[in-house]
Structure 1
């Protein structure tokens, strides 16, 4: 809302400037208000709440010079120039460091200061045409930089929304919905292996060392799984302490037990937990749900027959035998 208002003001300011409908004082006021709204709007696109200090300082930047002007201590144009300069200083100190695009934003502030200087009526600007041309170009550069900042911010926000719908918040792995979609795609392709893993004694770890220790262990295992599936599969968190890898690389599928053992041993060496692992390889006629169920049964078989081991699904391995 603030950003939209700022953009409308900026367009109005440029219309006044081009058509020469407004006095110089009116242009200064419009420029200052436009500048403040745009910069507060940019800040608001990064934070839901605007710091009160920013509002207070901007209010002081407006009212102190105006008060001096009303008491005849300063000339009108000088008062308004102080407002613009103070607004730039406040934006430099209180907005730029916090928006993620500090360098671009500060470059835009410097350009805006140059625009303020260029708006002053002096003989120099009127006699030197090349300087006038530069000052005519500066607003275009200023708005272009602000546009870049906003586009990059909106792209980041869009990516965040997309990632939140696909990724698990704790581990950064793909979530259950994304994993289910990937399994269906692999089954349609005809080349797929599912490796289902469960962290051994995870409840005891949470109960004895606390949930932060459990979360740390889960993140460590997730990082190793992500590294091990790079370019060969799709790592995910299926739920709780259960992680899953959907492997679609033909060469890796042919030696899937070796791959699973390498993953298991890495976790044992590099963390304070062990894994029970089960896997199932796609065979013609299997549905995605059945393939996943087979890997799940294999994992529970590993868990109930000693833990810290790998079990391959074979015909006859069912709930009864587990």
Structure 2
């Protein structure tokens, strides 16, 4: 009795009902995340994915109904296969749109794929009359072109979508799993007359992996967006240095924790003249170049921020780093590698000094460098 129950659970209607119901749950979770992203981000890629996931839920809903009733009409089987193809196309379109702007050329390709999917579905009802005398042969041939078309879609997805998106590793896994599931399905239907229970079981289990990876794909996209939002809130858009608010907070954190630190304050010399004579585009390029030099020189010793305008600051957190030597390396590289020079001042933290006072001292030292000849380093 127990053995019969276990066999029924694996290979019988109860097993199919359980598998398909669990898949609907996973797809519904992915749908909720995608819908939330669509509402908050309003990006067309999420709209395509939402439509695809709704179609998948309808498709698996049909399979649940078939598992319950143990019967399905010819029209029902056609709709299930058509929904499967449309869901796959829209899902891949959505994934592509998440990482790429939809241009007119892309839009034309998307329409062609959807139209091709609808067109190929006509072959389901276009079996020649002379082949319709054998009912079993007709039943096998009806979905054949649609099934083979799915292999073509898989190949084109590998070729066209994969190289143009982020998370390509997860995407390749998804397509490989989908290919394995469809290959098993084709083998079971066309080689074993759909009578191999273990292959049938694999057909039901493998999609779990596909939809789990898809859920992780979408979830990681959420993390990417959250990370991007966080980064944009603490960094300067032009130079990619930390913004003033974040930098001041980090200085206060170290000073209040009585950690020995130094602050280097810098200002690009004659920056207004540069903007007036060579244009703001050149000025922005110099800001980015100086910022890049500062980030490279302080990668292991501290952090950099844009204090305002052409003023940039460094928090030296490594107690073994001499701020004078670090500032001189930065000044020398800027002079050698760019068309501008910088004046720099530094100050070391002392007992009883506040974060604001530490920055003010470095600023005063920089002002002294500025007023005594420029393109030099001065300590407070």
Short-chain TM bin: 0.7 to 0.9
| Structure 1 position 17 matched with structure 2 position 63 | yes
Q: Which shifted more, 96-105 or 223-232?
A: 96-105
Aligned residue pairs total 311
Correspondences of 1:1-322 after superposition (within 5 Å): 1-20=47-66, 22=72, 23-47=76-100, 49=102, 51-68=106-123, 76-78=142-144, 80-81=146-147, 84-85=150-151, 87-88=153-154, 91-102=157-168, 104-120=170-186, 121-124=189-192, 126-190=194-258, 191-252=260-321, 255-313=322-380
Evaluate the alpha carbon distance shift between residue 229 and residue 113 of structure 1 in structure 2; reply closer, same or farther with a 3 A threshold: closer
Offset of residue 165 of structure 1: 0.9
SS at match of 1:194: strand
Evaluate the alpha carbon distance shift between residue 91 and residue 258 of structure 1 in structure 2; reply closer, same or farther with a 3 A threshold: closer
Matches of 1:311 and 1:295 in 2, distance apart? 9
* Counterpart for residue 317 of structure 1: none
Q: Which shifted more, 237-246 or 223-232?
A: 223-232
Q: Unaligned 5+ residue runs, structure 1?
A: 314-322
Matches of 2:335 and 2:101 in 1, distance apart? 43
Offset of residue 260 of structure 1: 2.2
SS at match of 2:92: helix
Q: Which shifted more, 106-115 or 164-173?
A: 106-115
Matches of 1:70 and 1:124 in 2, distance apart? 24
SS at match of 2:288: helix
Q: CA RMSD in A?
A: 3.0
Matches of 1:199 and 1:27 in 2, distance apart? 66
Offset of residue 164 of structure 1: 0.8
Q: Which shifted more, 18-27 or 165-174?
A: 18-27
Matches of 1:133 and 1:84 in 2, distance apart? 21
Q: What TM-score results when the alignment is normalised by the length of structure 2?
A: 0.71
Matches of 2:330 and 2:94 in 1, distance apart? 48
SS at match of 2:328: helix
1:186-230 CA-to-partner distances (Å, cap 9, x unmatched) read 220232321100111223333344434333332232222123223
Answer whether contact 1:13 1:27 (CA < 8 A) is retained.
yes
In proportion to residue count, which structure has more helix? 2
1:150-182 CA-to-partner distances (Å, cap 9, x unmatched) read 233322222211111112222221111111111
* Counterpart for residue 318 of structure 1: none
Answer whether contact 1:125 1:131 (CA < 8 A) is retained.
no
Matches of 1:259 and 1:111 in 2, distance apart? 52
SS at match of 2:335: helix
Q: Which shifted more, 234-243 or 122-131?
A: 122-131
Evaluate the alpha carbon distance shift between residue 79 and residue 123 of structure 1 in structure 2; reply closer, same or farther with a 3 A threshold: closer
Answer whether contact 1:118 1:125 (CA < 8 A) is retained.
no
Matches of 1:5 and 1:102 in 2, distance apart? 22
